[in-house]
Structure 1
């Protein structure tokens, strides 16, 4: 069974919270992209170092947030949770997402709109 999991860098809670100073957004975006890329590289390195490549089907590309989505097996998820560098959570087994599993039957727009129109006409 494949599981969709979300990975984030582990935060250091030992220091008190200090609000960040105002920054130029361009520098912030560049820093966020770099942090996300480093997290993805760390996850890829962990998967390779622990020979989990067969247990990982898909790994998302880096984005503006330091969050990586991964589709993996139960065993790979357990190993990733043991890592000290990042926090791993799981969404749900991928089989529960019908759109990702296989082709879906198409629903005609009229089938969706007819009950909605009747409901809206009563309110008007």
Structure 2
């Protein structure tokens, strides 16, 4: 079973919080994108170093936020959570998505309840 997970860099809690000074946001964008790229490189190197390539189906591209989405197996998720460079959370098993978004099936009927027949009539 594939699991969708969220990965973020681990924060250092040893220093007290100091708000950042106001600055031009345009100069912060390249820095944020570089941090996101470093996070993705760290995750990729961890996956290859621990031979988890078969347990990872998909890894999102870096963006503005230092945040990645990964589709992996339960074993790979357990190993990624042991890493010290980043924090890994779990969103949901990917198998759960089709049942929630589909219009047919036992779960969709339970969620829609008595409104399902009226919705089906409108869609036809």
TM-score band, normalised by shorter chain: 0.7 to 0.9
Query: Matched residue of 1:16: which SS?
Result: coil
Aligned to 2:95: 95
Q: In the alignment, which residue of structure 2 is the partner of 1:9?
A: 9
CA deviations 1:47-100 (Å, max 9, x no partner) are 01110000000000001110000000000000000000000000110001118x
**Residue 47 (1) aligns with residue 43 (2):** no
What is the alpha-carbon distance in structure 2 between the residues aligned to residue 113 and residue 46 of structure 1?
51
- Aligned partner of 1:117 in structure 2 is none
Q: TM-score, normalised by structure 1?
A: 0.80
Pairing 1:45-84 to 2, within 5 Å after superposition: 45-84=45-84
Cα separation, partners in 2 of 1:61 and 1:113, compared to 1, 3 Å? farther
Query: 1:26 and 2:13 equivalent?
Result: no
Q: Which runs of 5+ in 2 are unaligned?
A: 105-117
Return the alpha-carbon distance in structure 2 between the equivalents of residues 111 and 77 of structure 1.
39
CA RMSD of superposed structures (Å): 2.2
TM-score, normalised to structure 2, is 0.80
Counterpart-to-counterpart distance in 2, 1:53 and 1:65: 24
Please report how far the alpha carbon of residue 27 of structure 1 lies from its aligned counterpart in structure 2 after TM superposition. Answer: 1.1
What secondary structure does 2:19 align onto?
A: coil
